[in-house]
Structure 1
Amino acid sequence: MASDLRDTRAPIFHIAERAQWEAVRDAGRPYEVSTRGRTLAEEGFIHASRDEDQVSKVRRAFYADLDDLVLLVIDPARLDVRHESVGDDVFPHIYGPIPPEAVIEVRALPENR
């Protein structure tokens, strides 16, 4: 099932705290935050979403109390991305850090409600 949803050309998305993203971007270092409060080293991969519907669900579930967030739009062709089952859905997981050049766009997320 996971391979049916995989389109290596389609961008994937990662919710990031603005300050964390800007710090690594400004330093020219790879981004290594897996999810809120967990690093790539701790989790083993970086959580991502395949579309904006998944982004909305993840945001409500894990980031609802934060308002200074950005959405990283990522070129998966530059990374080791595996689409894996999580419950009844399939999410892209990034195995390794995200180099700044793999981020093709950074979008501000609207304020949480």
Structure 2
Amino acid sequence: MSNEFVYHIVSAVDWANWADKPTYEAASLRSEGFIHLSTDKQVAGVLERYYQGVPDLLLIQIDPARLTHELTYEVSTNNDHFPHLYGPLDKDAVVSVEAIR
């Protein structure tokens, strides 16, 4: 896969809980072993499938070249290859944080 940006959708509250730390860990890192990410083309579908009516969401833009943990593209929903981060997200890899909706 190319080295284009990848994205993570998170509630503003969850992101704020990690504000004073150099890394971020989604709950899925503990429960599934990785952080769910999306390509630019996958974000709209992920929002539609999993975040209908969820308020105060943020879209975290990530530069894969700056990650220190393994980023793997794996088959998931609709046989599409989704990026999964096997470790905490280094905030140095975050390019931007934008409110959704």
User: TM-score scaled to structure 1, two decimals?
Assistant: 0.80
1:91 aligns with 2:82: yes
After superposition, the CA RMSD in angstroms is 1.3
Aligned equivalents of 2:91, 2:81: Cα separation in 1: 25
Residue 59 of structure 2: aligned partner: 71
Equivalence for 2:30:
41
Q: Which amino acid aligns with 1:46?
A: I
Q: Which runs of 5+ in 1 are unaligned?
A: 1-5
- Tell me the matched-pair count: 98
Whether the 8 Å contact between 2:28 and 2:36 is mirrored in structure 1 is no
Task: Quote how far apart the aligned CAs of 1:39 are.
Answer: 3.0
CA-CA distance at 1:45 after TM superposition: 0.5
User: What's the offset of the Cα at 1:15?
Assistant: 0.3
* Structure 1 SS opposite 2:2: coil
What's the % identity of the aligned pairs? 39
Aligned pairs for 1:2-81 (under 5 A) are 6-8=1-3, 10-25=4-19, 27-33=20-26, 38-51=27-40, 53-79=41-67, 80-81=70-71
Gapped regions of structure 2 (runs ≥ 5)? none
